[in-house]
Chains A and B, each alone.
Chain A
């Protein structure tokens, strides 16, 4: 990523912050032109990603740091969202959505993220913790609503 993000947010690993972050992601993605359904899925994926960091990375501690950086993408248009934390690192090859035929509670977050995002990639951060990169591209019918003004604001 060679450009500065459009938006950088630093937050604590407190589940009470999930709701305002969802509202923020929904508002941002609306301004870019995502449909209501896409916005809901995008907010859901970010919520699941943050919940996984809180639950597994920080073992439900509420004072862990999480960085949320967002870039607007052009050609193809969309959003790149990068979440970083300083919690427990895990081998990314072990992060898998579970078999949905096995009906039981839990383990659905990774499946939801992979299913709703165009791309999702987990990495171990060199300084500790994890980095998750999420990409969601606008669907062809959504590109008509895409705002070029926003695009200029995001390109330094």
Chain B
């Protein structure tokens, strides 16, 4: 059951909101990485990555988010993850990266985190 990746970009209260949908694995992590890089070039104050439609993420996806975190710190952009599904949360836990990210439950929380 292949879940094709989609990447939507919107704006909420001045924050860029990236919403990937589908599975993020080795075959489609580059598309997310490219989308993040494009947003970073615009230097928003805040980048919210909404993962509520991501049912699966492997280490390629996690590496993409770590890269995004490092870029955001260099560019002084606040990066917030929202809607982390149980499978994705497990992957963060195994790699002991949960504490590195600001993770919140809702988009409203993400605007204030």
A18, A105, A116: which contacts B63 (Cβ < 8 A)? Answer: A105
**A60 → chain B, closest Cβ, in Å?**
9
**B53 → chain A, closest Cβ, in Å?**
15
A77 interfacial contact with B, CB 8 Å: no
**A24 → chain B, closest Cβ, in Å?**
10
**Interface size, A (range):** 20 to 34
A112 touches B63 (CB 8 A): no
B102 interfacial contact with A, CB 8 Å: no
A18 touches B26 (CB 8 A): yes
B25 touches A51 (CB 8 A): yes
Q: How many A-B residue pairs have CB under 8 A?
A: 76
**B66 → chain A, closest Cβ, in Å?**
5
- In the complex, A46→B27 CA distance in Å? 15
- Known contacts A19-B3, A22-B56, A105-B63; A112 and B95 CB within 8 A of each other: yes
Chain A to chain B: the 5 pairs with minimum beta-carbon distance, closest first: A105-B63, A15-B27, A108-B59, A19-B2, A51-B26
Give the B-binding residues of A (Cβ under 8 A): 15-16, 18-20, 22-23, 37, 40-41, 43-44, 47-48, 51, 54-55, 100, 103-106, 108-109, 111-112, 115-116
